[in-house]
Structure 1
Amino acid sequence: MTVTYRWRGEFDNPEIGALHAQGFGHPPAPVDWRGRVDRHSLGWVCARAEGALVGFVNVAWDGGTHAFVLDTVVAAVARRQGIGAGLVAAAADGARAAGCTWLHVDFEPGLRAFYLESCGFSPTSAGLMAL
């Protein structure tokens, strides 16, 4: 499978909605993903294989030097092929090109090896508050 990665790649709301629902285990919802990322994100990366959206990652930021990886998702049929790591690498490249010097990620324990070993993040202490 040949995969292409595009910083600020094109997508439509139904395809990203279906991918997100599949990846995060919820029913598809009528979310305006395009409006959301245009308003709040430094950028995003779309991974495509034969025209189909097989991966996505959103990169939020603080308007300065800190960027944040959110919503990393790979289609079930495309998992375990390095696409997730490719998405994060392209996100890091995009954030670096925009002048960011830090890329942050929060993750559940089951994703620790992916982010630390496959993507090259370093472990840190952090805090989280449910609102």
Structure 2
Amino acid sequence: MATVTAARTTDEPITTVAELLDRLERRPDLSVEADLEVTIDGTTVTVRGYEDLVAVDCPSLPSAVDLVRRHRSESMDAAAGLASTGLTAEVRVRGVPLARLGDGATPSGLAGMLGLGPVELVPEGLLLAAVTRRRG
């Protein structure tokens, strides 16, 4: 199940840049509720939406790194789109956050140096995901 909701404030046409900026400032943020399994580039990930946070949970650290690396050129557009709608995306491994982008993210200099774009890296998450393995 996935649900995205947004309310439209008015149907009047926009005639100036000032009106556009005013309308964007007043528009409500999106709210996402999701519980999905999605296959991206051959890897099955879990996508869960918690109102303003969309968590993409990968099965392993290598799969998460590969996902971010393959889609890094799109991260600038994704970050801008997420921020403009009040959403944050978080890449996780077995529930451990590794990276964030969008509204709730503070882009890190390291991510910029690695060519990842406006991404906030979670160094302790990277370490935890690297040293822990799923039990069972």
If the length of structure 2 is used for normalisation, what is the TM-score?
Answer: 0.30
Higher-strand-fraction structure: 2
Bigger radius of gyration among the two: 2
With normalisation by structure 1, the TM-score equals 0.31
Asked which structure has the greater RCO (Cα within 8 Å, sep 6+), the reply is 1
